[in-house]
Structure 1
Amino acid sequence: MRNKKGKKKGEKYYVFEISWEVCNKVGGINTVVKTKVPYMIKEYRDRYYLIGPYFPDRAISEFRERVPPDKLSEVFEKLKNLGIICHYGKWLIRGEPNVILVDYGGYIYKNYEIKTKLWEKFGIDSLGTEFHDFDEPILWGDAVGVLLHNISDLFGNRVVAHFHEWLSCGALLYIKRNNLKIATVFTTHATTLGRTMAGNNVDIYSIMEKIDPEEEAYKWGVHSKHQVERVSAHVADVFTTVSEITAIEARNFLKKNPDMLLFNGIDTEKLPTFEEVLIRHRLYREKIKEFLQYYFFPYYSFDLDDILIYFISGRYEFHNKGIDIFISALSKLNRVLKNEKSRRTIITFFWIPSDVIRIKPELLMAKAYYEDIKDAIEDNINEIESRIIRALISRKSITENVLFKEDFLKEAKKKVMRFLRDGNPPLCTHDIQNEENDPILRSFRENNLLNRKEDRVKVILYPIYLTGADNLLDLSYDEAVIGSHLGVFPSYYEPWGYTPLETGALGVAAVTTDFSGFGRYLSQDTIRQNEGIYVIKMFRRSDEEKIENLFEILYQFSKLDRGKRIENKMEARRLALLADWNILVSAYINSHKVAIKRVYDSSG
């Protein structure tokens, strides 16, 4: 059977996935796109292409250029005459997909013409927009539209173009403006207006039905992006979003119900086994404990065998990421544990990059003195080992005089005296810009989290990226997560929420919320016990209720014994694997099939 164009129904089609974050990591969409690649290639093979912007400084480490196939070469030559330079090659990630990176530098002369057409055809007001904020991605998108136009004409096959976020929608609007026979899918990962208002501490969910989105978009200066997003949602052949919570935004702000939800997944094939996770947990936990010794022990000591390590990570968005709620809940946890005279210590890392000046000099000094003590022990380890064995077989009590020679003890005590300091440990590992007014440090002080000896909750702002070579923990992000016990992500605005998902996948218990797309995805299972990955109730709750609900989880977890914590690790891993791309990629493939049917097989 053939359609009106003479094409066989069900024939193979090409898929082009377009994102500003192809070979150009900016945020979470880069993770969505690249972790999905092997599963897309499995379905589409050599008919799958990714299209992104060409930035030489990024491409040098992410992209390997190759000679394009003859058909593409013909298209590229044609586009050169318009000032559009296309680079074909492979993205250096798992699966090594086909990639076309578009250099739009020579296409800038079209800027005002493109913006005029957006106004005339779609009523998009881009008067007075900033070039790098709005015009640049729209220009790139229009150039991609020209590329897809020529590819579609030359290939003679059905083509699906899948667009991520408003940044790629210049191409979608080019296709619709020119009435091209290309099937289009548009995915918004978060609405521009929702992200902007939430980032400015507006409780959007409690007033959503009262908001006039056009008026608010102008008020916040994001009307051009909002209008591109709104128009794209309406003109795309298939409109999708990534979660139930973002679908609520789309209905209210874009006035369009998504055709389907495309949940974000993880690439499970690269994960360590659970057995490997348990081994690595012990290894990386010991590295964290070593750091804690020179961070806290110059001032006072506590039992390192009775600690739990909590953490939060992500962008420095004090309200959006729930940092404010977390600190308040930790403050209550500290008060309760002190009142109970608990001996357990909760170490809480805030792995949140900020504008740093240097590692605190007193911390570097403490580390140097600690390593001096450690080196002295290692230099004498053979003799110390022999003395321990002799003491054991002689049934002697093991005292310091039995273990060490007198001259060694004298020198060691001098080293320890240099190591010791008065006062309290710092709240931050680094000197940072405007430290007195830093929101996290100020909130620590306001909530009486001061790292005093009697405090059962200790806090550490660690304001640099975990690279594995930072001269302190010297752990990568994944290693630091595996060495911890609980990741806490009480985000107020989280369209999906990769951090709790990835934490669970690494076999570490996590906290997310019903503001999070991933949290709501898990909550579809109404009989699930709230463990492993905890989903706390925050949607349309007061601040007091949010803090209390989070505190209850933090407190309950602090009471778990080792066996229960291992059960939580196993459950966290099981829940994370529900978001395996092997399962979730089918929704992407289905969205393409629906778009093909609507464009190529429609009787209209």
Structure 2
Amino acid sequence: MEKKMLFPDYIFESSWEVCNKVGGIYTVLSTRAKTLTDIIRDRLIFIGPDCWGEKQSPYFRPDSSLLENWEKKANAEGLKVKVGRWDIPGKPIAVLVDFKPYFDKKNEIYTSLWEKYQVDSLHAYGDYDEASMFSYAAGLVVENLYYYLNLAPQKVIYHANEWMTGLGMLYVKDKLPKVGTIWTTHATSIGRSIAGNNKPLYDYLWCYNGDQMAEELNIQSKHSIEKQTAFNADAFTTVSDITATECHELIGKPVDVVLPNGFENDFVPKGATFTKKRKEARKKILRLANCLVGREFGDDTLIVGTSGRYEFRNKGIDVFTEAMNRLLRDDRLEKQVIALIEVPAWVGSPREDLKERYLSGKTFDTPLEFPMVTHWLNDMSHDNVIDMMKYLNMWNRKEDKVVVIFIPCYLNGDDGIINTPYYDVIIGKDLSVYPSYYEPWGYTPLESVAFKVPCITTDLAGFGVWANTIKGAYSEIEDGVKTIHRTDYNYSEVVDVIKDTIVKFSKMSEAQVKKARANADKLSKKALWNEFIGYYRKAYDIALTKANKR
């Protein structure tokens, strides 16, 4: 008879990105929350850092009716917390904890960690201390609530995300042995560092020694907390098969379960609203290009784009720029192309000359000076995108078939030029390109296909591998996702495949494009959380089974 899987009565989950929008982990947690709250309601409690002090977090709604007596008690005892709800679908309970008071006992905390788990905090620098003190405070919150709510008879899970929460997970493991612990690494520090330092990661993966590389790349402390958390978690998990291989080779422990990143598509407009928003987005992008370049762009202009964190090599921004340069010189391209690079850089201010043009409502036939960037940067002479465009002599000339526009700010609806949120821009694209070199999962391509925008990615991104798995072969642009085989050394080949795919897409009939868009939409629905939550059930069962044995 099949064993019934254990499911928690309570889940505590912590991350630096709870009520704190920094990157992809925010998307993972905030979109998964509704699926879990539908199952266990207010017995899901998120713990995040109080980075806001006296100010109000835009993602957090205080609610004094929740855990009211505990909040008062904890604050009276010196554990400074705010209790409320995370302002996302599902509205889960969130506890924000002030971690600054623990800096005073930092050395004592690190000594205890060394004695119990041999975690090396000696070489710590940068964000290590801040993350560790938050992690410790999160562990105190779990311990405090565990006793306050009398959870000893219940099945309880503590789920920690990324190295930043490792210290707290080890604290919970030590103090609350009945709690099942799960740790998810969304990318290994050492893998990201090898890739970011232009070293070949994949061909040599099995030759690298994680400890030795951590020393060479000066990230011993982050690697050490990752390694010990991985070995001590009841369930060690990651987000894709690619990162699972990386964990095995660089951390030295195979993962227990792969937890692929799903999402909820409730932010995608439907029907007539979708059509209207797509038209509006295209109009804004075509207008932006006219104001910069001084040329009119017709409705049949192909709008392509890339976006994400500004990791020039890891995210393949270098490959995208090179592909646009080669596309510029490809005689087979019959359509005009506007290529957007939407990555937040060290932005200074919106360009006043561009703003004036954009708001005037007029059409222009002369370019602005420097017609490739929407905002001035604090250091215009040291920026990877601008440097590469200059090197390749890409100046968005009036006669160029391909125009590249760098939007170097967060598209939060308040950028000072187009003042449009990211999702209201992506909907206007025809094609998106994410040629990642290092991408454990990849939300940007998933968001793209959810908006029916076919995309090009690589098999070094978890999402690209997943798309191939769904098809049972390499996915093509007609399927909604084109997955390119990428290695440490085939940069130029990848550039050409992107260029050729865009040329091919530009020649597709209206019916073919419609089909590719429908397939993109169909694929995105296979990645909804109700499809992926089963992997979490498996992780909960593993962790609770181990906790029971203790």
137-146 vs 198-207, which moves further: 137-146
Distance 1:10 1:544 in 2: 50
Q: Which residue of 2 aligns with 1:29?
A: 25
Task: State whether structure 2 residue 324 is matched by structure 1 residue 327.
Answer: no
Q: Secondary structure of 1:587's match?
A: helix
Q: Which residue of 2 aligns with 1:237?
A: 234
Structure 1 residue 56: Cα displacement: 2.9
**1:76–1:222 CA distance, 2 compared to 1 (3 A):** farther
Q: Which string of whole-angstrom CA distances, capped at 9 and with x for unpartnered residues, describes residues 471-519 of structure 1?
A: 5333221111111111111111111100010011011111111111111
Structure 1 residue 454: Cα displacement: 3.0
Q: Which string of whole-angstrom CA distances, capped at 9 and with x for unpartnered residues, describes residues 266-310 of structure 1?
A: 11234222554334222321232223333233xxx4551331011
AA partner of residue 105 (structure 1):
K
Q: Secondary structure of 1:16's match?
A: strand
Task: State whether structure 2 residue 493 is matched by structure 1 residue 545.
Answer: yes
Q: Percent of pairs identical after alignment?
A: 34
Q: Which residue of 1 aligns with 2:219?
A: 222
Structure 1 residue 75: Cα displacement: 8.3
The equivalent position to 2:462 in structure 1, one of 517, 525, 532, is 517
Task: State whether structure 2 residue 198 is matched by structure 1 residue 201.
Answer: yes
Q: Which residue of 1 aligns with 2:128?
A: 134
Q: Which residue of 2 aligns with 1:465?
A: 410
Contact 1:449/1:455 (<8 A) preserved: no
1:403-418 matches, cutoff 5 A: none
Structure 1 residue 364: Cα displacement: 4.3
Q: Which residue of 2 aligns with 1:93?
A: 88
**1:320–1:422 CA distance, 2 compared to 1 (3 A):** closer
The equivalent position to 1:563 in structure 2, one of 493, 511, 514, is 511
Distance 2:499 2:224 in 1: 40
1:223-302 matches, cutoff 5 A: 223-273=220-270, 276-297=273-294, 301=295
Contact 2:322/2:495 (<8 A) preserved: yes
Q: Which residue of 1 aligns with 2:312?
A: 318
**1:60–1:423 CA distance, 2 compared to 1 (3 A):** closer
Distance 2:74 2:328 in 1: 67
**1:445–1:136 CA distance, 2 compared to 1 (3 A):** closer
**1:274–1:520 CA distance, 2 compared to 1 (3 A):** farther
Distance 1:86 1:136 in 2: 17
The equivalent position to 1:526 in structure 2, one of 450, 462, 472, is 472
State TM-score, norm by structure 1.
0.83
The equivalent position to 1:349 in structure 2, one of 328, 340, 365, is 340
- List gaps (5 residues or longer) in structure 1: 1-7, 375-418
Distance 1:587 1:328 in 2: 38
1:432-447 matches, cutoff 5 A: 432-447=377-392
The equivalent position to 1:592 in structure 2, one of 531, 540, 547, is 540
Aligned alpha-carbon RMSD (Å): 2.6
Q: Which residue of 1 aligns with 2:177?
A: 180
Structure 1 residue 69: Cα displacement: 5.8
Q: Secondary structure of 2:203's match?
A: helix
Q: Which string of whole-angstrom CA distances, capped at 9 and with x for unpartnered residues, describes residues 345-392 of structure 1?
A: 111111122233444454345446x53x57xxxxxxxxxxxxxxxxxx
Q: Which residue of 2 aligns with 1:406?
A: none
Structure 1 residue 223: Cα displacement: 0.9
Q: Which string of whole-angstrom CA distances, capped at 9 and with x for unpartnered residues, describes residues 136-169 of structure 1?
A: 2222222332332343343222211111111111
Structure 1 residue 10: Cα displacement: 5.9
Distance 2:541 2:319 in 1: 43
Distance 2:102 2:351 in 1: 48
Distance 2:144 2:416 in 1: 52
Task: State whether structure 2 residue 376 is matched by structure 1 residue 448.
Answer: no
Distance 1:329 1:9 in 2: 49
273-282 vs 487-496, which moves further: 273-282
- List gaps (5 residues or longer) in structure 2: none
Q: Which string of whole-angstrom CA distances, capped at 9 and with x for unpartnered residues, describes residues 11-58 of structure 1?
A: 862111111111122211111111111100111122211111223357
Q: Which residue of 1 aligns with 2:15?
A: 19
AA partner of residue 185 (structure 1):
I
The equivalent position to 1:46 in structure 2, one of 42, 46, 53, is 42
Structure 1 residue 134: Cα displacement: 1.4
Q: Secondary structure of 2:12's match?
A: strand
Q: Secondary structure of 1:64's match?
A: strand
**1:429–1:25 CA distance, 2 compared to 1 (3 A):** closer
Contact 1:163/1:186 (<8 A) preserved: yes
Structure 1 residue 553: Cα displacement: 1.7
Distance 2:488 2:349 in 1: 41
**1:528–1:431 CA distance, 2 compared to 1 (3 A):** closer
Distance 2:146 2:368 in 1: 70
**1:352–1:119 CA distance, 2 compared to 1 (3 A):** same
Task: State whether structure 2 residue 111 is matched by structure 1 residue 119.
Answer: no
**1:161–1:442 CA distance, 2 compared to 1 (3 A):** same
Distance 2:507 2:481 in 1: 17
**1:231–1:303 CA distance, 2 compared to 1 (3 A):** closer
315-324 vs 72-81, which moves further: 72-81
AA partner of residue 354 (structure 1):
A
AA partner of residue 467 (structure 1):
N
Contact 2:6/2:545 (<8 A) preserved: no
State TM-score, norm by structure 2.
0.91
**1:430–1:110 CA distance, 2 compared to 1 (3 A):** closer
Contact 1:424/1:451 (<8 A) preserved: no
**1:180–1:333 CA distance, 2 compared to 1 (3 A):** same
**1:19–1:59 CA distance, 2 compared to 1 (3 A):** farther
Rg (Cα) greater in structure: 1
**1:333–1:274 CA distance, 2 compared to 1 (3 A):** farther
Distance 1:234 1:545 in 2: 39
Contact 2:306/2:342 (<8 A) preserved: yes
Q: Which residue of 1 aligns with 2:525?
A: 577
Q: Secondary structure of 2:204's match?
A: helix
Structure 1 residue 118: Cα displacement: 1.3
Q: Secondary structure of 1:152's match?
A: helix
Task: State whether structure 2 residue 9 is matched by structure 1 residue 63.
Answer: no
Distance 1:323 1:202 in 2: 17
**1:9–1:348 CA distance, 2 compared to 1 (3 A):** closer
